[in-house]
Chains A and B, each alone.
Chain A
Amino acid sequence: MAARAVWLAFRGGLGRRQAFSTKANVQGSGRITVEVIEHLERLALVDFGSREAVARLEKAVAFADRLREVDTDGVEPMESVLEDRCLYLRSDNVAEGNCAEELLQNSHRVMEEYFVAPPGNISLPKLDKQESFLHS
């Protein structure tokens, strides 16, 4: 299928495609499982691309785990340093706009006044066991 060929070509261009095991070189909790990797890639629409990237994430998570040492009982989360102030809201009057042409100029693919996107509602396919760089 043409779509599959394109998909493989795009995934194939990811650089090093050595097979490796997630069990080796896992430091810390080993929580970055294959499922997590696929899930993150799907959510972020950004791929790991290499074993080093997975290792970096593991280190980042291990680093973040240090937060557990802090006692935060009874402490409210802080979302903004300006939490004690009222957020400014302007009145709902149209003051500017009508710049569709200018905005469309920055896009690669437009048609009339539409941004053109490829078909939606098609999930990013999961990697086959053969192509996956996660399985040895």
Chain B
Amino acid sequence: MLGRTLREVSVALKQGQITPTELCRKCLSRIQRTKFLNAYITVSEEVALKQAEESEKRYKNGRSLGDLDGIPVAVKDNFSTSGIETTCASNMLKGYIPPFNATVVQKLLDQGALLLGKTNLDEFAMGSGSTDGAFGPVKNPWSFSKQYREQKREQRRPKLHREREGTDWLIAGGSSGGSAAAVSALTCFAALGSDTGGSTRNPAAHCGLVGFKPSYGLVSRHGLIPLVNSMDVPGILTRCVDDTAIVLGVLAGHDPKDSTTVQDPVKPFTLPSLTDVSKLCIGIPKEYLVPELSSEIRSLWSKAADLFESAGAKVIEVSLPHTSYSIVCYHVLCTSEVASNMARFDGLEYGHRCDVSVSTEAMYAATRREGFNDVVRGRILSGNFFLLKENYENYFIKAQKVRRLIANDFVNVFNSGVDILLTPTTLSEAVPFLEFIKEDNRTRSAQDDIFTQAVNMAGLPAVSVPAALSAQGLPVGLQFIGRAFCDQKLLTVARWFEQQVQFPVLQLQGLMDDCSSAFENEKLASVSLKQ
């Protein structure tokens, strides 16, 4: 049951095959059994069970709220949840209990979804591995998968004893690693992440999930503790594209509490079945073919392009000339906005407060010293440097100009007749934690965000779809990028691709009894990209 898609479970609930309470208990039990992944910071068991009870009553009376009624979901811990601790994986907000729900959380609850808990992340969503939070790193469930372990044995790697306590586990990606691990390990059917530079798509690729970043302005940011106001968006993590469309349908739309949401009427997100791709034009940006890209992913990317071409689509090479500067530009803009956004954490109104009472400034400085980790402090200081009077023009304004050039690159490509861009999501599959931490957070982010963050600068929608398992048995994702506010079209194409690829289900060793086949019922022709 837990391995099914959101839509399948929703049908099962409506048909009475399972009750919301039973489903909730199964998920909670699974959370307990996968605790070693450290995906959750807070598990809101009582809240979830109460919501399940109410959902059950609605189903009994034939008055269910919709596709999300009774569906267990998880939310990244940088979304405010009323009455439930919200920490952003930081000491600064340990014990902070918001008095309100983020708009996206409220929308999910209004549709009857069950909130299982808050998931782990990099501190304040800064990072690409979910390794730098105050509650410890998140382990990629695929580290413990049958697929990965079998490959390891075949390749005669040193045998691991005590697998779950072993030290060679893999990172989940970041910064929404907890949400990705939660969905991937079958503890919930959908999770909210946030995406500022790729923070939803990166862990989705590493955990074999669909990670969707909506167009900037489509989904409300009210209640999402901000990192970079001009680039943040809430992201959606699910096991298939159809599920993402269901969740997006609930979340999208203007919010009077977020003035950066557009007022366009929201078109419904039911995805049409795409059978004919011959009218589609797929663009392959040549600047994304970087030497650091693993040969395996390069080959998968190429095979995916061939897949579209052999199905009749037009596949052409395009150019985004300023690509090599986008990571630098992002670095400057991100740290600058972070410097401003983190200024609110002074210990006075909420969050951690130090005992120093000599002066306000001394108290602020001490509080921030204790509350923030090195990564956050480093970014704040960098940001302040770029915003100094003598540097403002040369760094901040300059970066804003480069941002326009990058955004224009995309506009030009889309105006030349391209519908969707196809790129890799990450440079390689998930790496072991011990290897990941050899470089510092900023270096890693600069490396790992390379394919994902230009999209945030341009505010475009993008989605990472799992494409295949690597030679090591680990998930690899590919990214599709669409025109602004053409999210439905993007998801339609993504779903077509997903159907061609038939990505396998994660098989967690020792927990196999819950993993009933998710795709038993689908009788689609499958073309594996591995062949």
Contacts and interface: CB of A to CB of B under 8 A. Distances in A.
Interface of A: 3, 6-7, 10, 14, 36, 39-41, 43-49, 53, 56-57, 59-61, 63-64, 66-70, 72, 75-82, 85, 87-90, 99, 102-103, 105-109, 115, 117-124
B416 interface: no
B99 to A, nearest CB: 4
B385 A57 contact: yes
Q: What are the 7 closest A-B residue pairs judged by CB atoms, nearest first?
A: A81-B459, A77-B400, A122-B359, A78-B404, A72-B401, A106-B350, A108-B353
Given A40-B385, A82-B262, A7 B362 contact: yes
Given A40-B384, A117-B363, A109 B353 contact: yes
Contacts of A106: 96-97, 99, 349-351
Contacts of A72: 398, 401-402, 405
A102 B381 contact: no
Nearest to A106: B350
Given A61-B385, A70-B402, A81-B230, A108 B380 contact: no
Contact of B325 (A39, A48, A66, A107): A66
Interface in B460-508: 484
Interface residues of B, number: 72
Interface of B: 96-97, 99, 216-217, 230, 254, 256, 259-263, 322, 325, 328-329, 331-332, 335, 339, 346-351, 353-354, 356-366, 368-369, 372, 374, 377-378, 380-382, 384-386, 388, 394-395, 397-405, 407, 440, 442, 446, 457-459, 484
B306 to A, nearest CB: 33
Given A63-B446, A78-B403, A108 B339 contact: no
Interface centre among A36, A67, A109 (most CB of B within 10 A): A67
Given A67-B332, A115-B348, 16 more contacts: A10-B366, A45-B365, A46-B369, A46-B377, A57-B385, A60-B335, A64-B386, A67-B328, A70-B402, A70-B405, A72-B398, A75-B405, A76-B404, A78-B401, A106-B97, A117-B348
19 contacts: A6-B358, A14-B369, A39-B388, A40-B385, A46-B381, A48-B381, A60-B385, A70-B398, A70-B405, A72-B405, A78-B404, A82-B262, A99-B99, A106-B97, A108-B347, A115-B348, A118-B363, A119-B359, A123-B361
Contact of A57 (B254, B263, B354, B378): B378
A79 B363 CA distance: 33
Nearest to A80: B230
Given A36-B385, A76-B401, A87 B259 contact: yes
Interface centre among A39, A64, A88, A120 (most CB of B within 10 A): A64
Contacts of A49: 369, 374, 377
A115 to B, nearest CB: 5
A14 B378 CA distance: 15
B187 to A, nearest CB: 29
Contacts of A99: 99
Nearest to A37: B381
B326 to A, nearest CB: 10
A50 to B, nearest CB: 9
Interface centre among A43, A48, A49, A90 (most CB of B within 10 A): A43
B92 to A, nearest CB: 11
Contact of B99 (A103, A109, A121, A123): A103
A81 B362 contact: no
Contacts of A122: 358-362
Contact of B331 (A57, A63, A80): A63
A90 B263 CA distance: 12
Contacts of B360: 117-120, 122
A60 B442 contact: yes
Given A56-B440, A118-B358, A67 B325 contact: yes
A87 B96 CA distance: 31
B382 A60 contact: yes
Contacts of B402: 67, 70, 72
B328 A88 contact: no
B216 A64 contact: no
B374 A53 contact: yes
B398 A67 contact: yes
A44 B359 contact: no
Contacts of B263: 88
Interface centre among B256, B346, B401, B459 (most CB of A within 10 A): B401
A78 B407 contact: yes
A88 B201 CA distance: 29
Contacts of A66: 325, 328
B332 A82 contact: no
Contacts of A85: 217, 262
Contacts of B364: 45
A84 to B, nearest CB: 10
Contacts of B365: 41, 45-47, 124
B459 A82 contact: yes
A118 B380 contact: no
A53 B353 CA distance: 23
A68 B395 CA distance: 9
Contact of A118 (B217, B356, B394): B356
A10 B442 CA distance: 28
Interface centre among B256, B404, B442 (most CB of A within 10 A): B404
Contact of A82 (B216, B368, B457): B216
